Structure 1
Amino acid sequence: MVAGSCTNEVTVNVSVDRIWKAAACEDHILLPKIIPQYFASAEIDGDGEAGSTKTFNFTPAAAPLTFVKDHVEVLDHGSHTMKYKAIEGGHLGRTLKSHAFEVKFEAVGADSCVVKTNIEYDTIDDGPLPEEEVQKLTDLPIRMMKSVEAYLIANPGPAELSHQANTFVDAMVAGFCTEELTLNVSVHRIWKAAACEDHILLPQIMPQYFSSAELIGDGEAGSTKIFHFAPAKPLTFVKNHVEVLDHGSHTLKYKTLDGGHLGHTLKSHTIEFKYEALSADTCAVKIKVEYDTIDDKGLSDEEVKKIKEGTAWMSKAVEGYLIANPASYA
């Protein structure tokens, strides 16, 4: 692959506060409204802050692209900096292996600001992007910003946009649960098997629960793993975003993007595993699950127990496999 980057800078004649709210915080609401010839619709998964996901669905005019799903890496209201990383769709799998862009809004006057965009990408093969493709990547943010600018100038009222498409203000209950286990295998082996290659191992050793799994990305932070459940299970799949994969501290954190309990009992769901060596052949795994319920009721004790037992069961299944196969993941 070939790594590349491009930058652009544009001045817009609206205040930094208004352009920030419209183009960064609520782009998923505004862009389909003001650029309907390009954006058919948009969806948000999360509260809109860093860690959320936004899916922009394109019209046929954008063919062959149909959609892009972006992870909000940064949304810094103090420095007016946003960063998106594409995790699915868009140019991924076509010309690009990875694609991220950072936008920084800087006030110039009371009613004007500069928008600086930095785009970084890796090509899918060993050739650089053609100049024409780079130019398209560079021009698109400018066209979008100028469209937002025109809308805000034509509508000089309050900068607040309607939250008609944003439901994160609905009632919900935040909760978490923890679990800690001792495993009779080295931290090195369990890390490789249960964190780095769980998408390979779990369908192999737990076919009664996992029918298959897919990996989108290189497996590191920013990748996505989709686990498909066996037909006997009430859930059909879960799509997890790898938020953290720290090989130094042996810490893994997943955030569910789709499937699983989302839309049933939960509005958001993250799980963190931290593996700590106890001796050469034993380790502890500390598990923390955080969630927001879909309504104003907390999870029942039975539902929390199922979450804890499910994570413990998978860890113990991997331990059993590694003990039975001492050469695996050595």
Structure 2
Amino acid sequence: MFGQLSHELEINVPASEAWELYGTLRLAKLLEEDGTLVQKFEVTEGDGGIGTILKLTFPPGTPGFTYYKEKFTKLDNEKRLKEAEVIEGGYLELGFTFHHTRFEVIEMDSDTCMVRTTIEYDVKEEAAANASYATIDAVAKLAELAKNHLIKNKASKDTH
């Protein structure tokens, strides 16, 4: 059973600033600092480029799983596009055969961008009931967290 979900959020910062967050490990660090979606992240391989593997550990009580590892499969600084695939734990333990996330930072004008996040997944037929674990909720929370961080940083830059 294949599925696709997407989320878009407009942010009033230049696309290059949003990409400095989304295109690097800073996004995972921001998640860890916030602590509501991710309790801990570890880079188990790589430096943030293609092939980097992150282990994300979730707070106690997170429904479904305690951790997963994801691998950066695409990182295009020109197109501001980053893709990651779950390679261990998490969704794979729930019967998913594939769980892939794509972040795109799209320039709208010199001071505004759109962050589009797309999740694609495939679930074994016998685990179809677990497809409900693939939601856009965490991505929407992540996008709001990133937006607030970027706007706060922009405001502090503007006052200096």
Residue 138 of structure 2 aligns with which residue?
Answer: 140
Residue 16 of structure 1 aligns with which residue?
Answer: 15
Residue 80 of structure 2 aligns with which residue?
Answer: 80
Q: How does 1:144-155 map to 2 (within 5 A)?
A: 144-155=142-153
Distance 1:61 1:115 in 2: 29
Q: How does 1:1-330 map to 2 (within 5 A)?
A: 2-26=1-25, 27-33=27-33, 35-44=34-43, 45-126=45-126, 128=128, 133=132, 137-156=135-154, 157=156
Kept after mapping to 1: 8 A contact 2:29/2:41: yes
1:57, distance to aligned residue in structure 2 (A): 1.2
Cα shift readout 1:281-311 (whole Å, capped 9, x = no counterpart): xxxxxxxxxxxxxxxxxxxxxxxxxxxxxxx
Cα shift readout 1:100-159 (whole Å, capped 9, x = no counterpart): 11111101122221112221111133464578x27x52232121011111012122256x
Q: Secondary structure at the match of 1:91?
A: helix
Distance 1:14 1:61 in 2: 34
For structure 2, which runs of at least 5 residues remain unmatched after alignment?
A: none
Kept after mapping to 2: 8 A contact 1:81/1:102: yes
Distance 1:65 1:14 in 2: 34
Q: What RMSD, in angstroms, separates the aligned Cα atoms of the two structures? A: 2.1
Q: Secondary structure at the match of 1:93?
A: helix
Distance 1:124 1:130 in 2: 9
Kept after mapping to 2: 8 A contact 1:94/1:124: no
Distance 1:126 1:94 in 2: 10
Cα shift readout 1:248-269 (whole Å, capped 9, x = no counterpart): xxxxxxxxxxxxxxxxxxxxxx
Kept after mapping to 2: 8 A contact 1:10/1:114: yes
1:81, distance to aligned residue in structure 2 (A): 0.3
Distance 1:147 1:93 in 2: 28
TM (normalized to structure 2)?
0.84
Kept after mapping to 1: 8 A contact 2:98/2:121: yes
Segments ≥4 residues shifted beyond 6 Å: none
TM (normalized to structure 1)?
0.43
1:17, distance to aligned residue in structure 2 (A): 1.5
Amino acid at match of 2:140: I
For structure 1, which runs of at least 5 residues remain unmatched after alignment?
A: 159-330
Kept after mapping to 1: 8 A contact 2:95/2:130: no
Distance 1:130 1:93, change over 3 A: closer
Kept after mapping to 1: 8 A contact 2:94/2:127: no
The structure in which a higher percent of residues are helix is 2
Distance 2:70 2:125 in 1: 22
1:51, distance to aligned residue in structure 2 (A): 1.1
Mean Cα displacement is larger for which, 77-86 or 24-33? 24-33
Distance 1:127 1:55, change over 3 A: closer
Amino acid at match of 1:53: I
The size of the alignment, in residue pairs, is 154
Amino acid at match of 1:13: N
Distance 1:8 1:115 in 2: 8
1:16, distance to aligned residue in structure 2 (A): 1.3
Q: Secondary structure at the match of 1:60?
A: coil
State, as a whole percentage, how many aligned pairs show the same letter.
23
